[in-house]
A and B are shown apart, each in its own frame.
Chain A
Amino acid sequence: MTAPTPTPTPAPPYGYVSPIPVRRAHLGDALASEWTKIRSVRSTVWTLGTMVLLMLVIGLGVGAVAASEGGGMSEDSALPLGFFGMLPASICVITLGVLTISSEYGTGMIRTTLTACPSRSRVLTAKAIVFFLLVFTVTLVVAFGVATAQVAMVDAAEPTGAEWARATVGAAGFMALLGLLSMAVGALVRHSAGAITVMIGVLLLPLVAALFMFSPALKGLQEALFTYSVPSQLISLYSARPPFGDSGPAGWETLLILAGATAVGLGGAFALLNKRDV
């Protein structure tokens, strides 16, 4: 403040020019970077490996049980059996989604990242895209394999093309969106354990809470919780008609609802990430 102006150093070469060619970084660079990040940590391998294992073991196990029971479900196809593997697998996706962003906060890596790329939106966009595509692809492949096995094992109605699409593309999209929502929550909460807890709560609490709503006054709320809880939505995804009563979403509608929730979550994450200190 009151410091005397220092004598200027004898004409230093103003500025330094790097011999490495300078080019503007863009979203493609950020995507490559996020791909490197997500493939180079063990948590990705562990969570996705566990997810695949759960889907395979539970899906094939349920298929075997249903096959031994014999054609008890002649009206429906065998595809909705995929739900039983999807539900536990969703916990793995939630964990990976949260860790994708919160591990950066936990380790302080986020500061290094945002120093290398001041455009915070670009970083989050790249993370979201890479994570979505990774989870979508893995889930799609495994879900298709499990569904094929289940259809082959269980003596049931031949599934239609629409049913196939919902059980594979739809289910993979559902999982990837759920993971994306977890990522948004991770970016908002910035703490791994906290964000995972929040997401497990979102996943299971409505259903558990609805179980204990015995009072008639809470009947409406109980039904809403049953219908719109994440596991019920996942069940609804597999069916063309609302599976719980006459109202409620079914089929692709559930995906739209989840996409809406994810969009809200991501919107909040973008806004806060740009505003907050890191």
Chain B
Amino acid sequence: MIEAVGLTKRYGAKTAVYNLSFQVRPGVVTGFLGPNGSGKSTTMRMILGLDTPTSGHVTIGGHPFRRLPNAPRQVGALLDAKAVHGGRSARNHLLSLAQLAGIPARRVDEVLGVVGLQDVAKRRSKGFSLGMGQRLGIAAALLGDPQVLLFDEPVNGLDPEGILWVRNLMKKLASEGRTVFVSSHLMSEMALTADHLIVIGRGQLLSDMPVKQFISANSADFARVRTPEGEPALRDKLSGVLVEAGGRVLSEPDGALRVTGLPLPRISDLAHGADVRLWELSPHQASLEEAYMRLTQGAVDYRSTDDKLAHLQAPPQPGQPGYGMPPGPSAPADAPQQGWYAPPPPGQNPYAAPQPPAAPAAPAPAAAPRPSLQKKPSDTTEDAR
């Protein structure tokens, strides 16, 4: 059981973690998600007593880590796979840690077997690949056979077989009643591994709930409706009817409509009533990845922009309507394509528009992700291409 209360960490003027409170329970894998630089590793270091929080506190089993009796037998951690002395062999590295924690030396060979490094145990870890380094780090975490396990980005650099192995290992460890806390920036990985999710962005808590609930709260179902090609009038007619009936309609570049707020049968009925034939009417559900992107998009620190190479491109041909040009005056807005996010579901969704308390030194609060704002300049250029 890990419990953080009002955890805050400032480095000079930069607030890395602000007022973070959460609990990590035993028996389940808890995923710790956030974009790069959102404060995941800082939080992990504070849990392990390596960094002292500016304010707030975090305890493991009721004690701060540095006052935990037999800490290495209760908590194991993989913080950074490269945090080993490269000149030392894998076995000696683990042996020194085992001795430090008062763990019998035969346990070293055991964990080397568990992570599959027994054949390279005598080799200096400098020559290890990233995946082997991760395995060595996991071995160090498992050394004390602890009750609480922390893994910071454990699947980085692992091959698919290794990722599967880590995934099953996490689940197995949790099923034994241990507390497993895994950080990642890969939502897709967490969707398969974690039972519970804690999402942070810019050092603040965005969400703390079971994965299933996270998906339903943050994803939005929509229907894709396609009217016969070459008959834009039908398309406009249908979108008008749907909007009238209370639906929200967005246009996709290939001419399809993306409808939210109306159940499929109702769309079908409306189309029938308006005498519009349909070529497609299909349900779609946003994935966990999309839900996560939508949740954190206001809290991303490092965002890339398009490499436009504008000065190298030939000027656009005039009089040639581009792909995705508005078909008519009443055309519905284009659905953002690049990095699009499903529109927020109807009704309240407290997570769609996180309004964190303004931290004194924290950057501006995350902007509420509204579909209209999601249409970035890059989308337009992509559409016009």
Q: Which residues of A contact B (CB under 8 A)?
A: 1-4, 6-7, 9, 12-20, 22-26, 29-30, 32-34, 36-37, 40-43, 103-104, 107-109, 111-119, 123, 277-278
Contacts and interface: CB of A to CB of B under 8 A. Distances in A.
Contact of A108 (B72, B80, B146): B80
B45 interface: yes
Interface in B199-237: 205, 207-210, 213
B160 to A, nearest CB: 27
Contacts, number: 160
B195 interface: yes
A40 B92 contact: yes
Nearest to B83: A108
B101 to A, nearest CB: 5
Contact of B99 (A29, A118, A119): A29
A3 B208 contact: yes
Contacts of B103: 20
B101 A116 contact: yes
B346 interface: no
B82 A12 contact: no
Interface string B173-203: 0001110000000000000000110000000
B98 to A, nearest CB: 8
Contacts of A277: 45, 50-52
Contacts of A4: 209, 213
B284 interface: no
Given A26-B102, A36-B95, A112-B79, A12 B84 contact: no
A145 to B, nearest CB: 29
Contacts of A18: 73, 144-147
B71 A16 contact: no
A231 to B, nearest CB: 31
For the complex of A and B, the 6 pairs showing the least CB-CB separation, nearest first, are A12-B27, A108-B83, A25-B102, A13-B177, A33-B100, A18-B145
B249 interface: no
Contacts of A23: 70, 102
Contact of B177 (A14, A32, A111, A123): A14
Identify the interface centre among B48, B100, B104: most chain A CB within 10 Å of its CB.
Answer: B100
Interface in B6-42: 19, 21, 25-28
A23 B85 CA distance: 27
A171 B86 CA distance: 33
Contacts of A108: 79-80, 82-84
B83 A111 contact: yes
Nearest to A107: B85
B242 interface: no
A113 B75 CA distance: 13
Contact of B102 (A13, A17, A29, A37): A29
25 contacts: A1-B208, A4-B213, A7-B210, A9-B27, A12-B26, A15-B177, A22-B70, A23-B70, A23-B102, A24-B102, A25-B100, A26-B102, A29-B102, A32-B99, A33-B100, A34-B96, A36-B96, A42-B87, A107-B82, A108-B80, A111-B50, A111-B80, A112-B140, A116-B97, A118-B66
Nearest to B103: A20
B292 interface: no
Interface of B: 19, 21, 25-28, 45, 48-52, 65-73, 75, 77, 79-80, 82-89, 92, 95-97, 99-104, 107, 140, 143-147, 176-178, 195-196, 205, 207-210, 213, 350
Given A7-B210, A25-B70, A12 B28 contact: yes
Contacts of B87: 40-43
Contacts of B25: 9, 12
A6 B24 CA distance: 11
B70 A107 contact: no
Mostly helix, strand, loop or mixed at chain B's interface? loop
Given A29-B99, A118-B66, 15 more contacts: A6-B208, A6-B213, A13-B176, A13-B177, A15-B26, A18-B145, A22-B73, A25-B100, A29-B101, A34-B96, A107-B86, A112-B84, A113-B97, A115-B48, A115-B71
Contact of B205 (A1, A40, A42): A1
Given A33-B99, A104-B85, A12 B177 contact: yes
Contacts of A103: 85
Contacts of A30: 99-100
Identify the interface centre among B67, B97, B147, B177: most chain A CB within 10 Å of its CB.
Answer: B97
Contacts of A24: 69-70, 102
Nearest to B107: A20
A15 B68 CA distance: 15
B21 A1 contact: yes
Contacts of A116: 72, 97, 100-101, 140, 143-144
A77 to B, nearest CB: 42
A119 B68 CA distance: 10
B83 A107 contact: yes
A78 B128 CA distance: 52
A67 to B, nearest CB: 41
A124 B330 CA distance: 74
Nearest to A3: B208
A116 B19 CA distance: 27
A112 B143 CA distance: 12
Contacts of B49: 114, 118
Contacts of B82: 107-108
Nearest to B27: A12
Nearest to A31: B99
A115 B149 CA distance: 12
Given A20-B145, A111-B83, A115-B75, A29 B177 contact: no
A36 B77 CA distance: 21
